[in-house]
Amino acid sequence: MSGTSNKNNLTQRIIIAMLSGAVIGILFHYIPIGLFPDGNPTFDKISAFFLDGVLEVGGYWFIASLKMLVVPLVFVSLVCGICSIGGSARIGSISVKTIGFYLLTTAMAISLALIVSNIIDPGVGNLKDVASAEGFEAKESPGLVSVLKGLVPNNLILAMANGKMLQVIFFAVLFGVGLAKLGDKVRLVRTFFFELDKVIMQLVMTLMHFAPYGVFCLIASMFADKGFGDMGKLIVYFLCVLLVLFLHTFLSYGSLLWLFTRLNPLTFYKKMGQLWAFGFSTASSGATIPLTLKTVEYKLGVKNEVASFTVPLGATINMDGTAIMQGVATVFIAQYFNIDLGFSDYLLVILTATLASVGTAAVPGVGLITLAMVLEQVGLPVEGIALIIGVDRILDMVRTAVNITGDSVASIIVAKSEGMFDEKVYLADTNDTQND
Ligand code: ASP
């Protein structure tokens, strides 16, 4: 178990890794453009070794090890959680509160995005230099019926192998209820799951020691590949999305947390640094689940019984940051094409974007896929997505951090209302996380 200073050290190391990764990546992106427009064999060799070798492998290992832990962690931890709350009795109220809260915050997020972007007007003005709107092929997004059908796995192994989180959650809840019902008759199985949970958490802790290297590789690769993208041309859109993400994170979540729990939101934000760095570097709330779970339980005081349900569910269905990007993008694209959106269109955008995040995997770039669904609903050209793609990767990183913040706030609020919250852990000055 690491001490406070070690832990703070780790957070610092992750932040240093992010910053140095960004600097290295930017150098690798812009040096050939600025200094060697006609190519330079030595630089090309170094960059091939470093970018296509070291960074590629390091980044892949890091993401793969996180993902490797997600399914066993969610499954085992949720079985234990459900089993501890005594089966079905409390699951009803926990799930209704959690899902209700997720829908509410997503609707708030997208409404805020629509209001702010209608004030800032990111799509008005001279945007001729922006990449052409032609040539974007929208991928199909799932309809409501297929989302609902997809909740129930017909093959658990397949669901696990494909990382279908909602299906894994569904089975884990049923399994946990069964285990709780049988009580002492299956004590051995129960003990097995609780001990397995400890082992998997230990693996998460071990992986954390390598996090700075993984984070460095991911950030450096991203910047080396994309640089700042079309940020210069899309600066108003870019800043508008950032502004709403910022407002939602600090105003909406801060006030909801205070209103529902009377806890000091500053304490919450202080403990989120490491998790934000993770969400930012991986751009995937799914891959971040192990750390979200660990942070929510051991730093923020949410009992495993609630966290094991709210965190994986939130990573899958709650994407407020993504909804914000979609709100601003909708206004931007409508303004670019000079199409007026009425009040009913905005309501439709709120509804579609809120539902769209349910059932789509929490991986990088998924927000653009569901954006196609939103645009189609209000009759905007889907090709408009090509306009904003140039800055989407960086925004994806920031909005993923916001998505995870939403899951964490919801976990605290639901846990507090269910009496499954340890305020001592929340208030503890230490940034340490513990395994038992
Ligand atoms: N990358 C986001 C997430 O995993 C989803 C998105 O906005 O594309 O939460």
Atom of ligand 1 nearest to the CA of 365: 8
- Report CA 404 to chain centroid distance, whole Å: 5
Residue 422, exposed/middle/buried by CB under 10 A (0-12, 13-18, 19+)?
Answer: middle
CA distance 171 to 86: 16
Of the candidates 369, 391, 364, the one whose C-alpha atom is nearest the C-alpha of residue 382 is 369
Half-sphere exposure at residue 109, Cβ-oriented, CA atoms within 13 angstroms: 33
Question: Which of 105, 249, 319 is the pocket-test mutation for ligand 1 (most atoms within 8 Å of CB)?
Answer: 319
What is the spatial distance between Cα 415 and Cα 77, in angstroms, rounded to a whole number? Answer: 16
Pocket test for ligand 1, best of 396, 398, 407 (most atoms within 8 A of CB): 396
So what's the pLDDT on residue 290? 93
The answer to whether the CB of 403 is under 6 A from ligand 1 is yes
DSSP code of 152? S
Q: What are the structure tokens assigned to 175, written together?
A: 């399994």
In a domain, 99, yes or no: yes
- pLDDT recorded at residue 433: 47
Report yes or no on 432 lying in a domain: no
Q: What confidence score (pLDDT) does residue 66 get?
A: 86
Residue 31 burial (C-beta neighbours within 10 Å; 0-12, 13-18, 19+): middle
| Nearest CA owner, ligand 1 atom 6 | 367
Euclidean distance between CA atoms 269 and 246, whole angstroms: 12
Number of the ligand 1 atom closest to the C-alpha atom of 286: 4
Give the CATH number of the domain where residue 263 resides: 1.10.3860.10
- Give the number of the atom of ligand 1 that is nearest the alpha carbon of residue 325: 7
CB atoms near residue 135 (< 10 Å): 8
Amino acid (one-letter) located at 242:
L
Query: Which ligand 1 atom minimizes the distance to the CA of 403?
Result: 9
Does some domain include residue 390?
A: yes
Residue 289 within any structural domain of the chain:
yes
Domain-located, residue 1? no
pTM of the model: 0.84
Q: How far is the CA of 367 from the centre of ligand 1 (A)?
A: 6
Tell me how far the alpha carbon of residue 425 lies from the centroid of ligand 1, in angstroms.
29
Q: How far is the CA of 412 from the centre of ligand 1 (A)?
A: 22
Give pLDDT, residue 41. Answer: 85
Task: Give yes or no for residue 233 CB within 6 A of ligand 1.
Answer: no
Q: What is the pLDDT of residue 223?
A: 87
Paired tokens of 122? 């990111």
Atom of ligand 1 nearest to the CA of 369: 8
Ligand 1 centre to CA of 292 (Å) is 15
In a domain, 5, yes or no: no
Contacts of 136 (CB under 8 A, 6+ apart): 382, 383, 384, 385, 386, 389
Amino acid sitting at position 95: S
What pairs with residue 421 in β-bridges? Answer: 302
Q: Tally the domains of the chain.
A: 1
Cβ of residue 143 lying under 6 Å from some atom of ligand 1: no
323: containing domain: 13-427
Helices 392-417 and 88-120: crossing angle in degrees, nearest 10, is: 140
Which structure tokens are listed for 81? Answer: 């959680």
Q: State whether the beta carbon of 362 lies less than 6 angstroms from ligand 1.
A: yes
pLDDT for the residue numbered 360: 63
Report the nearest atom of ligand 1 relative to the CA of 322: 7
Phi, psi of 421, deg, nearest 5: -135, 135
Residue 395 lies in a domain: yes
Averaged pLDDT, groups of 10, the chain, 436 residues long: 55 87 91 80 86 90 89 89 75 89 93 94 70 55 71 92 87 90 91 92 86 90 81 86 97 97 96 92 91 94 93 90 94 91 89 74 76 86 84 90 97 95 90 44
Asked if the structure places residue 3 within a domain, the reply is: no
Closest Cα to atom 1 of ligand 1: 364
Q: How far apart are CA 238 and CA 150, in angstroms?
A: 34
Q: Are 401 and 321 in contact (CB under 8 A)?
A: yes
